[in-house]
Amino acid sequence: MPRETTKPNINDFIAQRCHGEIKQAALYLADYFVSIKMKPSYASSHRFALTHKGKRVGYFRIGSEDGLENNYFDIEVYPVETEWYTNYLAYKSADEKAAFLDIFENAYIKRCNGCAKCAPGKNMFILDKEYKFICKFGTKLIVNPDEKHIRFIKALVDLRREYIKNL
């Protein structure tokens, strides 16, 4: 007879593994995802999937897989096509564009490391800036995001959701 398992609730999971400001930020993002009808669903030991209309938006990870490392979380939002970033930034102020691109360059995109036959990655142009050898499949995880990174994550989630709607 199969063993019944109970999938953990993300808020309970966060409460068990995080504390202080990190816990508050994680709970805030979990609530935000629920508010936009994108409730994180348990995927594996420490990962919760983020989906929209049956398509993957990304993952919300809390602590380490083995449970030994806690009090951190990370967010991964899957990328969209280059023109979506450019269109999103077209109506932003110079300061907003600079802030977005700073995080995009330093905390979001992942360089190709030759893990698949698509190496050496792809080149992207966003607002006339070229990004070379970008991984086609993944992004960096944004670990313990602060307020400015949370704004960035929300923008990426909105972009990914719009992208999915137009598939």
pLDDT tens digits, residue range 72-106?
A: 999 988 888 888 888 899 989 999 999 988 888 88
Q: In angstroms, rounded to a whole number, what is the distance separating the alpha carbons of residues 25 and 142?
A: 12
pTM, rounded to two decimals: 0.85
pLDDT less than 50: residues of the chain: none
Specify the pLDDT at position 2.
Answer: 62
Q: In angstroms, rounded to a whole number, what is the distance separating the alpha carbons of residues 156 and 88?
A: 10
- Short-list 20, 29, 13, CA closest to 150: 29
Specify the pLDDT at position 165.
Answer: 93
Specify the pLDDT at position 68.
Answer: 73
Specify the pLDDT at position 104.
Answer: 85
SS3 (DSSP) at 146: coil
Specify the pLDDT at position 86.
Answer: 87
Omega within 30 of 0 (cis) for the link into 120:
yes
Q: How many residues are listed for the chain in this entry? A: 167
